[in-house]
Amino acid sequence: MSLARAFADRVHARAPGKINVSLDVGPRKDDGYHDLVSVFLAVSLYEDVVVSHSDGFSARITGDIDVAGVPVDETNLAVRAARLVVEEAGWNGGVHLDIHKRVPVAGGMGGGSADAAAALVAVDDLLHAGLGAPRLHRLAARLGADVPFALHGGAAVGVGRGDELTPALTGGRFDWALVSHPQGLSTPAVYREFDRLREGDDAAACGSTAAGDTAVLQALRAGDPRALAAAVFNGLQPAALSLRPDLGAVLVDGVERGALAGIVSGSGPTLAFLAGGESDARALAASLVTAGHDARHVHGPVHGAHIVSRAG
């Protein structure tokens, strides 16, 4: 164990946002949940969490994005994550979290889940708890369906609520332009709209394509963006577009500006446009910015939650 490791009293961890490159949603079950089959891709838009010892639990939130809607109290998912690790480790003290956000809030990219995953690994490290991957994964699943993937990173198939993960092989990197929106979408509201559409005349527009998942996994394995573009699928997209019809024109605009495909990310409203390669994605993002959109280039797969540095 190095000296820095032994005496660190501030630990900095980082975790990625995600795109659902396919998302099959089953009907609402009696317990209110929907069974999902999703292929997740972790992308290079990161949340940074720095943790330090404290008497109680507190958080300070900053960001490259508008963070006004993010709670700093015990309802913050990262604070809940920190508390879980402290309890699991039997530690008699608290933790302060400095969270720097880049993933759009309520954007469908799992930003809060990434904060929680980063907090899990950071507090585990700060306390020298040594909980190990299986226990951290169990804590992650208790916090929320997207937290295990933010811990895991890379690409993976998630079933159940999305938290039963199997790693997926990727044969290369995929470059995207993301378009985010100042006004987020509530995930429960999108699922309610999904249920409403499914019960109505638009049932055919919603739901699942088991064959689509296979095509997505093959395209990821082959590292082939064109094949992936033909296979991406989001069963929540009709519901997100129903609540936010303005997104439809942006999807068309992105494809006209050179994207191979455009989809709503998760429950939206962030839009993910797949490009043929890095320079294409950079040019696409620049073109979307010229058109007045809030756009940036990202790539995936990238690593899940990990320690960046220790200090003190």
Catalytic residue numbers read: 18, 146
Helix-helix angle 77-89:111-126, to 10 degrees: 30
Cβ closer to ligand ATP: 112 or 254?
112
Contact between 182 and ligand ATP per CB under 6 A: no
Contact between 109 and ligand ATP per CB under 6 A: yes
* Shortest Å, Cβ 78 to ligand ATP: 5
Contact between 71 and ligand ATP per CB under 6 A: yes
CA 179, 149, 233, 44 dihedral sign is positive
Residues 6+ apart with CB under 8 A from 157: 37, 38, 39, 40, 165, 166, 168, 213, 217
**Taking CB under 6 A as the criterion, which residues in 189-248 touch ligand ATP?**
none
Task: Select from 266, 300, 301, 304 the one that contacts ligand ATP (CB under 6 A).
Answer: 266
* Gap between the Cα atoms of 93 and 289, Å rounded: 46
Contact between 70 and ligand ATP per CB under 6 A: yes
Token pair listed for 298: 């990202």
Q: Which residues of 11-40 are buried (b: 16+ CB within 10 A; e: fewer)?
A: bbbbbbbbbbbbbbbeebeeeeebebbbbb
Contact between 146 and ligand ATP per CB under 6 A: yes
Token pair listed for 257: 């500006």
- Map residues 267-286 to x or -, x wherever contact with ligand ATP holds by CB under 6 A: x-------------------
* Shortest Å, Cβ 166 to ligand ATP: 20
Query: Binding residues for ligand ATP, per CB under 6 A?
Result: 69-71, 75-78, 105-113, 115, 146, 187, 266-267
